Amino acid sequence: MSLAARKELIAVVRRRYSEADRDGKKLILDELTEITGYHRKHAIRILTGDAQNILRERPCRFVYDEAVNESLVVLWEASDRICGKRLKAALPLLLDAMEKHGHLKLDESVRSQLLAMSASTIDRRLRSIREHAYGGRRKKRAALSRVRKLMPVRTFADWGEPRPGFFEMDMVVTVENVLKEHSYTASF
């Protein structure tokens, strides 16, 4: 339903609503919420308040132009289609490397907009491209095992330079190996 049609409908319904008793107002609200899809409280505000201030067209505000979107897609493809959170962290290094090797040439305004873009905005900007790239299917998350839930995951930005002497290792030991090593027999 267009905005003009909604304004016209509300002008007619507002008159009926102001003259109706309590039960009549309930029925009018039910009809209006059914037709327009408004939440009940929003419909009450429209019918009792100034509809011109509530129903106004908001101008579209595009912050990022087409050049930013196109360069974001190129960077996303170059980074092997990683998620927005990891792409945000990798953008400074990726931009430098791609410009250094001549794969990308950006204006300073486009470059600053890319670096200022948040991870969630990156994901929103890439949503349609990602759906098209994966054939309209959304990737499903696999069920995580208990061990994977306990292991901390770090993004590209979380890794700092390790101090000298720092060592990190993950080890998994099965019960069978422990029993064989110590020559225990298990009877179940």
Indicate the domain borders of the chain.
Answer: 3-54, 62-161
How much is the mean pLDDT over the chain?
80
pLDDT tens for each residue of 10-39 = 888 888 998 899 999 999 999 989 888 889
40 neighbors 25 (Cβ within 8 angstroms): no
Angle between helices 84-100 and 66-78 in degrees, nearest 10: 90
pLDDT of res. 93: 93
pLDDT at residue 188 greater than cutoff 50:
no
Q: 118 vs 53, 61, 89, 91, 107, CA distance in Å?
A: 32, 17, 10, 11, 19
Rg (CA), the chain: 29
Residue with more model confidence, 127 or 61: 127
pTM of the model: 0.48
Average pLDDT over residues 102-130: 92
Given a cut of 80, whether residue 3 has pLDDT beyond it is no
